[in-house]
Structures are given as C-alpha cells and as structure tokens.
Amino acid sequence: MGKGRLFVVSGPSGVGKGTVIARIMEADPAIWKSVSATTRAPRAGEADGVDYYFVERSDFERTASGGGFLEWAEYSGNLYGTPVASVQAHLDAGENVVLEIEVQGAMQVRKSAPEAVLLFVAPPSMEELERRLRGRGSESEDSVRARMDAARVELSHEMEYDYVFVNDDIDVTVEEMLACIGNAGAQSQETTI
C-alpha cells in the first residue's frame, strides 16, 4: 500500500476543530488523528492516550530534545507536541493522518513536510468564537481571555494555509472538509517526514 497523506488542521481554540474532526473520522474511518503530548492538565472527560498523552514538563522536554516530536510549541503556557513515530507508522500504513495543532507547529510541519496540506478553521465572528469557548464550559475566565488573545494572533496567519473554512454551519464545514481531504489526498504527493 502507498504512503498516506498528512493534513494539518489549525484554528483558534473553541472554533470547533475537535467537533469537526470527530465528524470527519466517523464519515471516513481511513483517517487517523494523531494523539499529541501535552503538559496541560486534563479537562473533565478527557482520557490519557485518547485525547492527549498528559505528561510532565520534564518528560516532554526530554522527548523534544531527543527528536521525538515532528513539531512542538508552547501555547497558553503549556507545551504541546506531535509524536513523530506514530505519525510515521500510520503514513507508512497508507492512512491519511490529521494533526490538530496550532499555528507555530503547522509552520514547522510545512518546513519539514512541504507536501502536507494545511487547513484553517475560522470562526464566523469573534463574538461567536467567545460564545463557543464559554459554552464549552472548560476554561477559567483567565484561560478564556488568553485563548481570545491567542485567537487574534492565529487569525492573522490564515493566509499561510492552503484552505480556509469558516465554521458557521457544522454540517457544511464537515462536508467541505471531507471533500477537500478527498481531493487534496488524491492530488498531493505522498508524505515523507
């Protein structure tokens, strides 16, 4: 089987990336979403090894300096990184791999794997983004403010992506992104990382 393709999905916290990707994976089981390592604390309902690998900062830093991450970045005071070995294994198995990562990490992937396809999910408005972030009920007031500040910076990078999706109606976003992954996957070269 040929090698799979690598897709990066970025967008501000609360825009709906996780929700959209979960729906995409239901629709297309041949897509595998990478599980990142993070130093942030688990949210209610998050499981270690499923949502993230929740690790101590010292363990994260050891893995990073040993070249164990395809990319990594600091976001809102915590470290996040993509384990390179599992991504490589799934690409080798011919699966399409999705990384849900922030902008700095996406730019690192663009450098190390230029054939990766970069997708950006944007909110219909900043007001709606804040409503979703608060509606999720997962963040403290400080964390909401930090994430809204980060969102303004992230949105200024959307031109650096191959495709931008405004996540207004979730059904439309899922359909458009599935079509994009199908088309881009068919056209792009295989990914070597």
Site residues, ligand 5GP (CB under 6 A) = 13, 36, 40, 71-73, 75, 80-82, 100-102, 104-105
For the segment 116-135, give every residue that binds ligand ADP (CB under 6 A): 132, 135
- Number of residue whose CB is nearest ligand 5GP: 105
Dist CA 32 CA 129 (whole Å): 26
In the list ligand ADP, ligand 5GP, none, the entry touching 40 (Cβ below 5 to 8 angstroms by class) is: ligand 5GP
Q: What angle do CA 54, 60, 61 make, to 5 degrees?
A: 165
The pair of structure tokens assigned to 104 is 């700095």
Dist CA 59 CA 100 (whole Å): 21
Q: What angle do CA 115, 119, 123 make, to 5 degrees?
A: 165
Dist CA 42 CA 46 (whole Å): 6
Taking the complex as a whole, the smallest distance from the CB of residue 1 to ligand 5GP amounts, in Å, to: 26
CA 122 to chain CA centroid, nearest Å: 13
For the segment 145-174, give every residue that binds ligand ADP (CB under 6 A): 167, 170
Dist CA 121 CA 165 (whole Å): 5
CA 146 to chain CA centroid, nearest Å: 18
In the list ligand 5GP, ligand ADP, none, the entry touching 101 (Cβ below 5 to 8 angstroms by class) is: ligand 5GP
Taking the complex as a whole, the smallest distance from the CB of residue 66 to ligand ADP amounts, in Å, to: 29
Taking the complex as a whole, the smallest distance from the CB of residue 55 to ligand 5GP amounts, in Å, to: 12
13 binding ligand ADP? (CB under 6 A)? yes
Q: Which is nearer to ligand 5GP, 100 or 189 (CB)?
A: 100
88 binding ligand ADP? (CB under 6 A)? no
Q: Report yes or no: 115 and 189 within 8 Å, Cβ to Cβ.
A: yes
* Parallel/antiparallel/unpaired status of strands 37-38 and 78-83: antiparallel
Amino acid 14 reads G
Taking the complex as a whole, the smallest distance from the CB of residue 5 to ligand ADP amounts, in Å, to: 22
Taking the complex as a whole, the smallest distance from the CB of residue 7 to ligand 5GP amounts, in Å, to: 13
Would you tell me which residues interact with ligand ADP (CB under 6 A)? 11, 13-19, 132, 135-136, 167, 170
